[in-house]
Structure 1
Amino acid sequence: MVLTFRFAAAECVPENRQPWALSIVMAAGLAAGVLGPQTVTYTMDLWESHLFIVTYVAAALMAVVSAAVLLGIDVPRHEAAVRTSGRPLAVIVRQPQLINVLLCGVIVYTLMNFLMTSAPLAMKHEGLSLESSNLALQWHIIAMYAPSFFTGNLIRRCGANRVVLMELILTSASIAVGFAGMQSYHFYLCLVLLGFGWNFGFVGASALVLQCHKTSEKNSVRAFNDFIVLGAVVLGSFASGGILNRYGWTIICALAFVPVLVAISTLILSEHRGKYSTQERTS
């Protein structure tokens, strides 16, 4: 639910500033990158007979504080958009552009979650400490959100398609590092590259979603996008642990390469079709 705030922020600015608004909201996750893993480290064994119970209580208190902050935010309502009916969702989702965006969003987020969930378990299997895996996750989360301060401007200058393509290249580099070894520094570098890539891909795909609907259709299209993307993330999370336990970290990395290649091919074809259509309209 928290990720839907990015679309709410886009409603508060002019159209040309929407990628910037998306990325700045995502930048708030930088605080989570520091507070989250450190909270786990300092609270996980405070109640020795119930490991992690204090961590869950601390996380619940953070959610209460966040809810209190949100009570003071007034998001503008677009009454005209609410009254106007848009196209049926079944028609909207058949747009090639939206299909490409959904495919890229699913691959970007599911791959990130698939590798991020597996990495700490793989570190434990290799005998690395829990503190080491917490630190790796901390740097991963920082890398996920730190680029948000400039991702919006990057999208405005280079275009969302190219920014998503940069994400896929970074994810490929992350997987290559995962193949290279299983020392702690391999996991650190793998997760940092994965985090940077996720930011470019997720913010870029979110910006592309804004181009796939009319104002009156925004709520249904954005909700459908997040339902599909986050639903795939849940499936990837469930699959990662079982695959890791049965086949190991190397197979996890090998499986991740396939959807990256699919997404790269989809983006290149989409951009080519867009240029071809533009040429047809101008000829």
Structure 2
Amino acid sequence: MNPCRAGQTTLRGNTMKTPVHINNVAVLASCQALYNSGRTLTFLSAVLSGANMLGDDQRLATLPITMMIIGMASGTIPAAQLMHKIGRKWGFFLGSMIGTLGSFICVVGLLVDNFFLFNLGMFVYGLYSAAAQQYRFAATDVAPENFKAKAISLVIAAGVVGAFVGPWTTGLTKDLLIGAEFAGAFCALSAFTLAAGLIILWVDIPLKTEQKGSDTGRPLLLILTQPTAVVAIISATFSYVIMNLLMVATPLAMRIGYQHLFFDTQLVLMLHVVGMFAPGFFTGNLINRFGTINIVLAGTLLQIIAICVALSGTGVTFFWVSLLLLGIGWNFSFTAGTRLLTQVHTPAEQGKVQGTNDFIVFTGMAISSIFSGTLYHFFGWQWVNMAAIPMALLIIASAVWLIFVKRTNNPSTIT
């Protein structure tokens, strides 16, 4: 029995958090911190590794990130369905072991200077990433209603650790293996994934009775065509696509385009990841206070401001401010979108709805990552930013539409 069960308190009206809830959030937050440390490491190392391998033709420099995201998109629905059948703990554990294998393949690819093998490793690592996307959903599985938004935001907030550990580890290990820049960093990545697999064994989320039956709930299309579900998916998908489009191109723009120092590139990505995850310590409270839709709108406006800053100059300071605001905006919109999605499904429908949502999100990310490198190669950094503006306007339009829909149906439910 998990030791955290000792002293478990009784829920009063499903509003009181217990030691089990606190333990689960702590375990999931630790795994999220390790995952985001590895994620920051890969976004910094994989793009520059691709650039090293390809030489002057940088059109496919972002392909390793694209392969990772394709792996994520490919694995989202299987990961969600697997956890639906065998539970969160063993689904996460299996995902972590797959991530360790993918990291090792990346190391081999770099050592033998094989671009195909390196991309294969990134794809396999992406399968682990698909499972890791469920950390935020797992935090709400047994949480009382008034703790759900905070549980999501706290797990996401733990990713702020990655803002420091990821870039610092990259700088420390990138030249560890002589003759293969960044191979040492991917050795560190395998350590992160292995540690996450061991820590997750302490999570205590029982397989729900609703999961054990044959009832799978309403048809998926019926669930996803609800106005709230539509806006949840749009806000989560396009806030992530905007962030990914700019973040993937940043190392190329800074190091290759504008010849900024590697240290400055590290620092910019560090500030960006801080912006992505530090607000998670209070985003849940903001959602509870101001409403989910308002936080979606606030996050999108911050992303638009970030784009305007990026278009204003190419000095290091402009990158600092832009990427920091971009991260904060993503946090607001993505966390709120995640919270919206939890409002449209029952426990029996959870696996297929969350898996489909993540599949849509990461398919969009895969397209944006390869598009980012190609757009940067042919048109430059300015056009990468301008390409994100229509997507931000779409999020705003969808959120305003949902406000009108809810006001028409029930004025008291605009949250």
Distance 1:82 1:243 in 2: 47
**CA displacement at 1:4 relative to structure 2:** 0.7
**CA displacement at 1:48 relative to structure 2:** 3.1
Asked whether the equivalents of residues 11 and 76 of structure 1 are also in contact (C-alpha less than 8 Å), the reply is no
Structure 2 residue runs without a partner (length 5+): 1-130
TM-score of the two chains, using structure 1 as the length reference: 0.96
Cα deviations by residue, 1:40-59 (Å, 9 ceiling, x for unpaired):
11111222310000000001
Distance 2:333 2:228 in 1: 16
Matched, 1:98 2:261: no
2:224 partner letter: V
**CA displacement at 1:266 relative to structure 2:** 1.1
2:347 to 215, 218, 229: 215
1:54 partner letter: G
Identity %: 32
Instruction: Show the 5 A alignment for 1:112-261.
Output: 112-124=243-255, 125-261=257-393
Which residue number corresponds to residue 86 of structure 1?
217
Asked whether the equivalents of residues 165 and 201 of structure 1 are also in contact (C-alpha less than 8 Å), the reply is yes
Of 171-180 and 216-225, more deviation after overlay is shown by 216-225
**CA displacement at 1:102 relative to structure 2:** 1.1
**CA displacement at 1:196 relative to structure 2:** 0.6
Asked whether the equivalents of residues 135 and 155 of structure 2 are also in contact (C-alpha less than 8 Å), the reply is yes
Which residue number corresponds to residue 107 of structure 1?
238
Which residue number corresponds to residue 136 of structure 2?
6
SS of match in other structure, 1:71: helix
Which residue number corresponds to residue 400 of structure 2?
268
1:71 to 201, 205, 209: 201
Distance 2:411 2:327 in 1: 37
Higher relative contact order (CA 8 A, sep 6+): 1
Distance 1:175 1:48 in 2: 38
**CA displacement at 1:280 relative to structure 2:** 11
Distance 2:251 2:315 in 1: 12
Distance 1:130 1:221 in 2: 41
Distance 2:385 2:391 in 1: 11
Cα deviations by residue, 1:57-89 (Å, 9 ceiling, x for unpaired):
001011111111101112132203542330111
1:113 partner letter: N
- Give the alignment's Cα RMSD to 1 decimal: 1.5
Which residue number corresponds to residue 62 of structure 1?
192
**CA displacement at 1:214 relative to structure 2:** 2.0
Cα deviations by residue, 1:132-191 (Å, 9 ceiling, x for unpaired):
111110111111110011001111111111111110010011000001000001001100
TM-score of the two chains, using structure 2 as the length reference: 0.66
Distance 1:280 1:195 in 2: 31
Structure 1 residue runs without a partner (length 5+): none
Of 186-195 and 265-274, more deviation after overlay is shown by 265-274
Distance 2:359 2:208 in 1: 23
- What is the count of residue pairs matched by the alignment? 281
Which residue number corresponds to residue 30 of structure 1?
160
1:50 to 171, 176, 180: 180
C-alpha change, 1:65 and 1:280, in structure 2 (3 Å) is: closer
Distance 1:10 1:43 in 2: 36
Asked whether the equivalents of residues 164 and 205 of structure 1 are also in contact (C-alpha less than 8 Å), the reply is yes
Distance 2:223 2:285 in 1: 28
Matched, 1:15 2:145: yes
Distance 1:113 1:280 in 2: 35
Distance 2:216 2:327 in 1: 39
Distance 1:163 1:152 in 2: 10
Distance 2:402 2:318 in 1: 34
Distance 1:149 1:74 in 2: 22
**CA displacement at 1:248 relative to structure 2:** 0.6
Asked whether the equivalents of residues 33 and 138 of structure 1 are also in contact (C-alpha less than 8 Å), the reply is yes
**CA displacement at 1:12 relative to structure 2:** 2.5
1:198 partner letter: W
**CA displacement at 1:264 relative to structure 2:** 0.6
Distance 1:31 1:166 in 2: 24
